[in-house]
């Protein structure tokens, strides 16, 4: 068989070795650094995006906590003020005009809903007048 001739085998092994060494050096010195640069730049972009995301999450959560505390403080102030007005009206035995009180309360709720979002709207419990049968005029 001519493929297994001892004279040709050594030259074939030599050229095979030279070809693979040449391909290896071309890949490792010219093409591989380009791939490594692109992978490193992608990794840096991902890290920068993660840092931006963490910063945005932190600022969003701090603003959300601040807004929630401000809203809770204002709602508690409104509740205390409203309870004091109602208690003064009940203690003085004056004629309480519930339609006027309802209009004022409705206007307050309407104006507060205009400037608040849906999350806050779900926190405020509002019952319709139809179910409030204890106050009839």
Question: What residues contact residue 134 under an 8 Å CB cut-off, 6+ apart?
Answer: none
- Structural tokens at position 33: 């650094």
The structure tokens 């650094």 sit at 33
Q: Give the model's pLDDT for residue 43.
A: 96
Given this model, what pLDDT does residue 123 score? 65
Position 134 scores a pLDDT of 56
pLDDT < 50: residue spans in the chain:
1, 136-137
Helices (H), ranges, the chain: 6-26, 32-91, 98-114, 118-123
Q: Using alpha carbons only, give the angle 108, 112, 118 rounded to the nearest 5 degrees.
A: 135
Contacts of 89 (CB under 8 A, 6+ apart): 96
Q: What is the model's pLDDT at position 10?
A: 81
The residue extents of the domains of the chain are 2-96, 97-137
| 5, 42, 72, 118 from 123: Cα distances, Å | 91, 44, 10, 9
pLDDT value at position 120? 62
The string of DSSP codes covering 8-48 is HHHHHHHHHHHHHHHHHHHIIIIIHHHHHHHHHHHHHHHHH
């Amino acid at each position: 068989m001519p493929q297994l001739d001892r004279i040709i085998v050594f030259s074939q092994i030599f050229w095979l070795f030279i070809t693979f060494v040449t391909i290896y050096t071309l890949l490792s010195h010219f093409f591989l650094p380009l791939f490594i640069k692109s992978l490193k730049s992608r990794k840096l972009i991902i890290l920068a995006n993660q840092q931006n995301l963490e910063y945005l999450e932190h600022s969003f959560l701090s603003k959300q906590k601040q807004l929630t505390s401000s809203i809770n403080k204002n709602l508690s102030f409104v509740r205390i003020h409203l309870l004091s007005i109602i208690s003064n009206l009940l203690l003085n035995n004056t004629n309480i005009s519930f339609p006027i009180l309802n209009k004022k309360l409705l206007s307050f709720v309407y104006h507060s809903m205009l400037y608040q979002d849906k999350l806050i709207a779900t926190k405020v419990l509002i019952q319709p007048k139809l179910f409030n049968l204890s106050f009839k005029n």
